């Protein structure tokens, strides 16, 4: 049975027609590798901020975050209140990156530490794309196909894999054709669709449930499952673990990851880059209400018997199918098509951003180092091939994902990011604010941190209840809370970086010009902002504080 009617398909076709028009317009404006990777570095702040938001809020958020809300309430909301960290990107990190004139984050590390840390970060980043962005995003999109078109391709499982492959191919075609400018501009369109679609499902779901008071009443009856702050005894989300791990992952993702930072590097000047980041931070305040709360609404409707969510076989329901089920069950024809277009927009937005970031990382940080002097056309071709390899590896990883985390798609994502982020966050923070840190410290910190993080990931996938249950010490490592492990790994990385740095000579001051806080051009930075940026920052931080204040005591 198909759940989409003719008018739904018409809405989806119109959306893709608009998207195609944007891509065709973007393809006419650039020819060089700078155009391909950074849109000629002349993009305005609105497109940058919308792209930052839309690239982050992919289908894994709409599907996975709603599922997380249904299963664990607001426990993961802390990761969605990272607007304050995007403010850090705008004020603390962007000036370093933009003044250095780099294409990529590994390139920045090379300027600060030398070539070896650049190689390590490039390879780690590509591995991260396979383990998180490709596999998670495609999986989420495939869940949507499985729910919306269960019998179109013979079975729900067939619909899952057809949806996965089809969306990858479609997104790849328009990304390759349109280059980074197409990614930025289509992201602007998709950000609007995302907000309209998700806000609609929130509104209609609340109306069916009986209003906000009914949702609060349901959450109050299940405080242990749905509260924002959990006690230290909570095995999954203790409040101390959240306070430790969330900023570590947030700084890595928002302030040092090529996937996000590349948007600010496409700005025409430093002021525009900062304003773009602040606009993205403002948009980032919304996900709790339009992506996480719908999951809570879905759980409440399911509890009342007003919504049937597919069973997980153990008496519960499949959290990752909450949002697609709400789309098919609650929305009228036409609006349903708009929301499906939003889900496809989310998937394509994340994938298109990923494709371009992958091409940039491999081409600039790996291939160009091996083959200096390669032609512009050769660089673009190699970038496309590298993207294809990462996509294939990500698809192969999808069947392994459930073994890493039993908590749903979004929790899997935070598990893996919690193991990848600490050494990278440590290297960037120490590198920017401590001039004594050198190449040896960066190499040792990145290498040891990555090995330990991947070891935890492998052990967690193989050992524990329902898996291999001996030897006991490996089971203990597998079961060690992922939030606390992030903190431990960050501490190990910081200690290693500092200790290793002091076993070699300090960098020469002239090598650090513009690459550390003490040596940056502060006058140029001061000239790049005025009271409008300050007011925007106060508004954003005030909104984050207000959301925290309300939901800390709402039940």
Segment 446-452 mean pLDDT:
97
Higher per-residue confidence, 405 vs 310: 310
pLDDT at res. 173 = 65
Report which DSSP code applies to 317.
Answer: B
Partners of 468 in the β-ladder:
463
Structure tokens at 452: 């330990």
Higher per-residue confidence, 6 vs 539: 539
Decide: pTM greater than 0.85.
Answer: yes
Q: Is the pLDDT of residue 216 over 90?
A: yes
Segment 255-272 mean pLDDT:
86
- For residue 34, name the pLDDT band (cuts at 50, 70, 90): very low
Q: Which of 1, 14, 19 is nearest to 346 (CA)?
A: 19
Segment 436-448 mean pLDDT:
97
Q: Is the pLDDT of residue 18 over 80?
A: no
pLDDT at res. 218 = 92
pLDDT at res. 406 = 62
Report the C-alpha dihedral over residues 256, 262, 267, 272, rounded to 10 degrees.
-40
pLDDT at res. 1 = 45
**Which domains, from first to last, does the chain contain?**
6-408+530-552 (1.20.1730.10)
Integer Cα distance of 275 and 466 in angstroms? 49
Segment 341-358 mean pLDDT:
71
Higher per-residue confidence, 389 vs 39: 389
- For residue 26, name the pLDDT band (cuts at 50, 70, 90): low
Q: Is the pLDDT of residue 186 over 50?
A: yes
Quick: pLDDT tens for 94-142. 998 888 878 778 888 999 999 999 889 888 888 887 888 778 877 777 7
Q: Is the pLDDT of residue 248 over 90?
A: yes
Q: Which of 172, 102, 104, 164 is nearest to 136 (CA)?
A: 164
Decide: 96 and 432 in contact? Cβ < 8 Å: yes
pLDDT at res. 86 = 97
Q: Is the pLDDT of residue 399 over 80?
A: no
For the ranges 75-89, 129-143, 256-270, the lowest mean pLDDT is seen at: 129-143
Most confident by average pLDDT, 265-279, 418-432, 463-477: 418-432
pLDDT at res. 71 = 87
pLDDT at res. 341 = 77
Q: Is the pLDDT of residue 540 over 90?
A: yes
Say what percent of the chain tops pLDDT 90. Answer: 37
pLDDT at res. 37 = 45
DSSP helix/strand/coil, 155 = coil
Farthest CA pair distance, the chain: 69
Quick: pLDDT tens for 465-477. 778 888 999 999 9
pLDDT at res. 188 = 65
- For residue 183, name the pLDDT band (cuts at 50, 70, 90): low
Segment 481-506 mean pLDDT:
97
Q: Is the pLDDT of residue 424 over 70?
A: yes
Structure tokens at 497: 């970086």
Structure tokens at 32: 């060089």
Mean pLDDT for all residues in the chain: 84
Segment 456-468 mean pLDDT:
86
For the ranges 39-43, 113-117, 535-539, the lowest mean pLDDT is seen at: 39-43
Q: How far is CA 294 from CA 34, 39, 188, 288, 353, in A?
A: 40, 36, 23, 9, 26
Helix, strand, coil shares, percent, the chain, to 5: 80, 0, 20
Secondary structure (DSSP) of 156-225: HHHHHHHHHHHHHHHHHHHHHHHHHHHHHHHHHHHHHHHHHHHHHHHHHHHHHHT-HHHHHHHHHTTHHH
pLDDT at res. 184 = 60
Quick: pLDDT tens for 371-390. 887 787 787 788 778 777 87
pLDDT at res. 162 = 79
Q: Is the pLDDT of residue 358 over 80?
A: no
Q: Which of 185, 214, 198 is nearest to 286 (CA)?
A: 198
Segment 44-72 mean pLDDT:
82
pLDDT at res. 39 = 44
Segment 478-482 mean pLDDT:
93
Secondary structure (DSSP) of 470-511: -SHHHHHHHHS-HHHHHHHHHHHHHHHHHHHHTTSPPPPGGG
pLDDT at res. 38 = 46
Higher per-residue confidence, 209 vs 358: 209
pLDDT at res. 41 = 53
């Amino acid at each position: 049975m198909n759940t989409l009617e003719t008018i739904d398909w018409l809405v989806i076709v119109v959306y893709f027609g608009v998207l195609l028009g944007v891509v065709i317009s973007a393809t006419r404006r650039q020819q060089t590798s700078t155009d391909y990777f950074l849109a000629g570095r002349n993009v305005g702040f609105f497109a940058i901020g919308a792209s930052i938001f839309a690239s982050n809020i992919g289908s894994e958020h709409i599907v996975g975050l709603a599922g997380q809300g249904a299963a664990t309430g607001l426990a993961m909301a802390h990761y969605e209140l990272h607007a304050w960290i995007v403010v850090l990107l705008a004020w603390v990190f962007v000036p370093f990156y933009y003044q250095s004139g780099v294409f990529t984050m590994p390139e920045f590390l090379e300027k600060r530490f030398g070539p070896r840390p650049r190689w390590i970060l490039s390879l780690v980043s590509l591995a991260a794309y396979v383990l998180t962005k490709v596999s998670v995003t495609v999986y989420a999109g495939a869940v949507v196909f499985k729910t919306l078109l269960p019998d179109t391709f013979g079975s729900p499982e067939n619909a899952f894999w057809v949806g996965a492959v089809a969306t990858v191919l479609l997104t790849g075609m328009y990304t390759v054709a349109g280059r980074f400018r197409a990614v930025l501009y289509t992201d602007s369109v998709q950000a609007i669709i995302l907000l309209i679609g998700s806000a609609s499902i929130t509104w209609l779901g609340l109306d069916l449930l009986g209003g906000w008071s009914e949702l609060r009443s349901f959450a109050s009856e299940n405080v242990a499952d749905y509260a924002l702050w959990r006690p230290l005894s909570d095995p999954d989300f203790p409040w101390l673990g959240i306070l430790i791990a969330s900023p570590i992952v947030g700084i890595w993702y928002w302030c040092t990851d090529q996937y996000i930072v590349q948007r600010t590097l496409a700005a025409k000047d430093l002021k525009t880059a900062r304003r773009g980041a602040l606009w993205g931070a403002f948009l980032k305040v919304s996900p709790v209400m339009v992506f996480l709360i719908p999951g809570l609404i879905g759980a409440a409707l399911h509890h009342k018997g007003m919504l049937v969510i597919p069973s997980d076989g153990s008496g519960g329901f499949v959290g990752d199918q909450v949002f697609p089920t709400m789309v098919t069950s609650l929305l009228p024809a036409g609006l349903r098509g708009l929301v499906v277009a939003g889900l496809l927009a989310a998937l394509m937005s994340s994938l298109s951003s990923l494709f371009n970031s992958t091409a940039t990382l491999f081409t600039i940080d790996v291939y160009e180092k091996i083959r200096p002097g390669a032609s512009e056309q050769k660089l673009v071709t190699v970038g496309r091939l590298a993207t294809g390899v990462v996509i294939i590896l990500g698809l192969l990883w999808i069947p392994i994902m459930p073994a890493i985390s039993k908590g749903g798609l979004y929790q899997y994502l935070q598990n893996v990011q919690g193991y990848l982020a600490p050494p990278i966050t440590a290297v960037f923070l120490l590198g920017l604010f401590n001039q004594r840190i050198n190449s040896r410290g960066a190499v040792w910190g990145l290498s040891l941190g990555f090995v330990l993080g991947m070891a935890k990931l492998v052990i967690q996938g193989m050992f524990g209840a329902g898996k291999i249950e001996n030897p006991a010490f490996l089971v203990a490592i597998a079961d060690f809370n992922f939030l606390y492990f992030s903190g431990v790994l960050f501490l190990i990385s910081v200690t290693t970086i500092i200790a290793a740095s002091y076993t070699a000579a300090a960098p020469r001051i002239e090598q650090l010009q513009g690459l550390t806080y003490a040596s940056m051009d502060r006058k140029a930075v001061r000239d790049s902002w005025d009271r409008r940026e300050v007011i925007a920052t106060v508004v954003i931080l005030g909104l984050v504080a207000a959301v925290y204040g309300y939901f800390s005591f709402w039940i």
